[in-house]
Amino acid sequence: MKALEKWIQKAVTIKNLAIFLTIIYCLSILPVLWVAKYNFPGADDYTNGLRCYQAWNTTHSLLAVLKEAIGRTVFEYTSWRGCFTSSFLSALPPSVWGERWYGMTTLIIILSLTASILYFVFCLLNIVFKADKYSCLSISMMILILLVQCLRPGERTELLYWYSGAINYAFIFSLELFFLGALIKAACNKDKNTIRHLIPVSVLGFFVGAGNQMSSLNALIIVFTVIFFITIFKKWKEYGRLMIPIGFCIIGAALSYAAPGNWVRAQSSNMMSPVKAILVSFYCCLDLSASKWITWPVILLMAAMIPVFWNIAQKVDFKFPCPIFPLIYGYCLTSAMFTPSLFSLGNIAAGRIQGLTYWVFILMLALCVGYVTGWAQKKFQKNERSAELHSHSLSLDSSCWVLYCIGLLGFSSIITVIPEPSYYTVTSAIRDMMNGSAAGYGQEMESRVEIYKNGAGQEIVVDPLKNYPELLFFNDISGDTEDWINLGVAKYYGLDSVSIK
């Protein structure tokens, strides 16, 4: 028995845990990326990318494409929406350079999400709490597994595969994490030339503030929280320089919210009063977190984080006071993600809206688990401090706990995906490939594109799709030539009209 305990403690270290989780994460996203090669544009991709697609096919000039993207941004700013960062990026789907490039959408989102989580967690845990790189990597990988693999059907499509939804929500969320991480780094940087380092952070903050309204509001709440704490603790002399990037973030948001296009769009939607939108946001967050978001993979991976956070807390002098306040703040911050959609649209039905809020929920839950774990460590082990500040070892109890959580997660996953093959994003991707729906969908869409390109100026009627892969299919044209999606496809390819038989 002692030999087994010794082996477990030797095998289950923070370093080995980080390596194991990184391998699992990397392997799990390979099918997710591979199935994307069968992906094709849909819905808003045609209307948003119209100008740039035509500019590229006419001139093959990158400068002309960028000019059209800026023109589209100006048009939307005055006629539809003020988030000009999102408008500019939405005008540049990969399909502008050819439909087969559209599959790059998923790669762009996965890379940006992975890099931003790693950067943010490293800046927070390593720079602020002096955590070692393997602890940061372990926490990052567990968060990423939950973000990518535990999205619900519909949310996966709109955040990972449909460009107009993914670039507007998932990519802007990644930019926000880069901005917050850079803000933390700037706050801890004692370099005399720190003003020079604030320039890229300020530029990033400006564009995050002008991103989608959910991430923009999220960033504003955080930066005003920073201002509040700087003020009450009278730290303006030490941290006053942070007002430069914070100010740019506020300016970007102000320009976005003041756009004439927002008021034009509001006339065609069921707006909710601000007070009601805030109250309903709290309800929606509570309801979804209790009924949909807190699943057993979330519980097990959050539990597996506890020994890592405990190990980090042992190495710092910070006392982690008032643990109830981070929990309340995290709940409020997550709830606020719903408010812009409820205020402007009157609902949160879109998968991308719920999926993005789920991402914020998971990130805030992980940070709250870390804070409460730190409080517990200081509360119950007041006089204990890690002998080896840079040790990657865990206690026997902690090693057994991590092994139990990861083992139970693996066993539960196996018995779950048998009756529910689409439970995880990776298993859904494997299913779409194995049943042939992804490849069949790709062939059907490729045939359609060929018909579109050869039918300029004609009335095109195409066959209905036979394949509907769960991850790739978002929506389709209809039998009505005046449907907005049909009109978008027709303008994109220069057709007189297009419809389904």
Instruction: Annotate 290-341 with three-state secondary structure.
Output: HHHHCCHHHHHHHHHHHHHHHHHHCCCCCCCCCCHHHHHHHHHHHHHCCHHH
Q: What is the pLDDT of residues 121-139, one digit of tens each?
A: 999 999 999 999 999 999 9
Quick one: average pLDDT of 237-258? 92
Q: Are 367 and 184 in contact (CB under 8 A)?
A: no
E strand or H helix that includes residue 147: helix 133-149
Structure tokens at 344: 């402007």
pLDDT, tens only, 303-333:
999 999 999 999 888 889 999 999 999 999 9
Reduced 3-state DSSP string for 6-44: HHHHHHCCHHHHHHHHHHHHHHHHHHHHHHHHHCCCCCH
- DSSP reduced 3-state for 173: helix
Quick count: other Cβ atoms within 10 Å of Cβ 322? 11
Collapse the DSSP code of 175 into the 3-class scheme (helix H, G, I; strand E, B; otherwise coil) and give the result.
Answer: helix
* pLDDT score of 40 more than 60: yes
- Report d(CA 51, CA 88) in Å as an integer: 12
Over residues 445-463, the pLDDT tens digits come to: 999 999 999 888 899 899 9
- Helix (H) or strand (E) run with residue 157 in it: none
Identity (one letter) of the amino acid at 187? A
Q: 178 to each of 43, 125, 173, 208, 386, how far by Cα in Å?
A: 29, 14, 9, 10, 31
Structure tokens at 46: 């045609």
Q: Is 60 exceeded by the pLDDT of residue 384?
A: no
Q: What is the pLDDT of residue 397?
A: 87
pLDDT given for residue 382 in this prediction: 64
Residue 130 DSSP one-character state: -
**Is the predicted pLDDT of residue 273 greater than 90, yes or no?**
no
Q: How confident is the model at residue 394 (pLDDT cuts 50, 70, 90)?
A: confident
Burial class (CB within 10 angstroms; exposed 0-12, middle 13-18, buried 19+) of 416: middle
List, for residues 139-190, the tens digit of each pLDDT value. Answer: 999 999 999 999 998 899 999 999 999 999 999 999 999 999 999 999 888 7
- The single-letter DSSP state of residue 459 is E
What DSSP letter does each residue of 325-389 carry, written as one string?
Answer: HHHHHHHHHHHHTTHHHHHHTS---SHHHHHHHHHHHHHHHHHHHHHHHHHHHHHH-TT---SST
Say how many CA atoms lie within 13 Å of 310 toward its Cβ.
22
